[in-house]
Structure 1
Amino acid sequence: MNELVTFGETPLRLSPPGKTRVESAGQMELFADGTESNVAVAASTLGTDALWVSKLPDTAVGKNVTRQITSTGVETSITWSDADHRQGISFREAAASPRESTYWHDRDRTALATTAPGDLPMEQIQEASVVYTSLSSAVLSEAATNTAEAMLRAGTGGGAVTAVELDYTPGLESANSYAHAFDQVKSEVDVLITSEEAVSDVLEETGSPRELTNTLSALYDLQIVVIRRDDGSAIALHDTPGTNVVHERSEIPSDSVDPTGEASAFTGGFLHELIQGSDTARAVTVGVACSVFAKTLSGPFLRVEPEEIEPIADEVVDHSQ
Structure 2
Amino acid sequence: MFEVTSFGEIMLRLSPPGYQRILQATSFDINFGGAEANVVVALSNIGVKTSYVTLLPQNPIGDATVNFLRRYGVDTSYIKRKGKRLGIYFLEKGVGQRASSVVYDRADSAINEIQPGDIDWEDILKKTKIFFSTGITAALSQNVLNELKVAFKTAKNTGAKVAFDINYRSKLWNYERANEVISDLMSYVDILITNEEHVRKVLKIDMEEKYFEGIDLTTDGQKILFERLQTKYQNLERIILAARRSISASKNIFFAYTKDENGNIVFSKKREIEVVDRVGGGDAFTAGVLYGILKELESDKMLEVATYMCALKHTVEGDSLITSEDEIKQALGHDSSGMMKR
Same fold (TM over 0.5): yes
Matches within 5 A, 1:181-260: 181-207=181-207, 208-221=221-234, 222-231=236-245, 232-237=254-259, 243-260=262-279
Contact 2:266 2:300 in 1 (8 A): yes
Task: Provide TM-score, normalisation by structure 2.
Answer: 0.85
Separation of aligned partners in 2, 1:296 and 1:82: 34
Q: Which residue of 1 aligns with 2:216?
A: none
Separation of aligned partners in 2, 1:33 and 1:11: 5
How far does the alpha carbon of each residue in 1:23-65 deviate from its partner, in whole angstroms, 9 at most, with x for none? 2212111111100000001111111000010012223222222
Q: Which residue of 1 aligns with 2:101?
A: 102
Q: Which residue of 1 aligns with 2:212?
A: none
Q: Which residue of 1 aligns with 2:68?
A: 68
Amino acid at match of 1:37: A
How far does the alpha carbon of each residue in 1:123-149 deviate from its partner, in whole angstroms, 9 at most, with x for none? 121221111000111111122112112
Separation of aligned partners in 1, 2:330 and 2:152: 34
Amino acid at match of 2:275: S
- Percent identity for Structure 1 against Structure 2: 26
Matches within 5 A, 1:102-141: 102-122=101-121, 123-141=123-141
Contact 2:83 2:109 in 1 (8 A): no
Contact 2:138 2:148 in 1 (8 A): yes
Separation of aligned partners in 2, 1:226 and 1:262: 15
Q: Which residue of 2 aligns with 1:291?
A: 310
Contact 1:43 1:50 in 2 (8 A): yes
Separation of aligned partners in 2, 1:278 and 1:188: 24
Matches within 5 A, 1:14-93: 14-76=14-76, 77-83=78-84, 86-93=85-92
The count of aligned residue pairs is 312
Separation of aligned partners in 2, 1:97 and 1:218: 40
Deviation of residue 310 (structure 1)?
2.9
Amino acid at match of 1:266: F
Q: Which residue of 1 aligns with 2:151?
A: 151
Q: Which residue of 2 aligns with 1:308?
A: 327
Separation of aligned partners in 2, 1:117 and 1:249: 42
Deviation of residue 252 (structure 1)?
2.3
How far does the alpha carbon of each residue in 1:164-189 deviate from its partner, in whole angstroms, 9 at most, with x for none? 11001223321123222212321110
Amino acid at match of 1:114: E
Structure number with bigger Rg? 2
Q: Which residue of 1 aligns with 2:297?
A: 278
Please give the root-mean-square deviation of Cα atoms over the aligned residues, in Å.
2.0
Worse-matched range after superposition: 191-200 or 131-140: 191-200
Contact 1:136 1:178 in 2 (8 A): no
Separation of aligned partners in 2, 1:248 and 1:146: 36
SS at match of 1:203: coil
Name stretches of at least 5 consecutive residues in structure 1 with no aligned partner: none
Matches within 5 A, 1:171-186: 171-186=171-186
Worse-matched range after superposition: 34-43 or 205-214: 205-214
Identify, as 1 or 2, the structure richer in helix. 1
Worse-matched range after superposition: 267-276 or 107-116: 107-116
How far does the alpha carbon of each residue in 1:3-33 deviate from its partner, in whole angstroms, 9 at most, with x for none? 1100001111101110111122121111111
Task: Provide TM-score, normalisation by structure 1.
Answer: 0.91
Name stretches of at least 5 consecutive residues in structure 2 with no aligned partner: 208-220, 246-253, 337-342
How far does the alpha carbon of each residue in 1:196-220 deviate from its partner, in whole angstroms, 9 at most, with x for none? 2211221111332222222112211
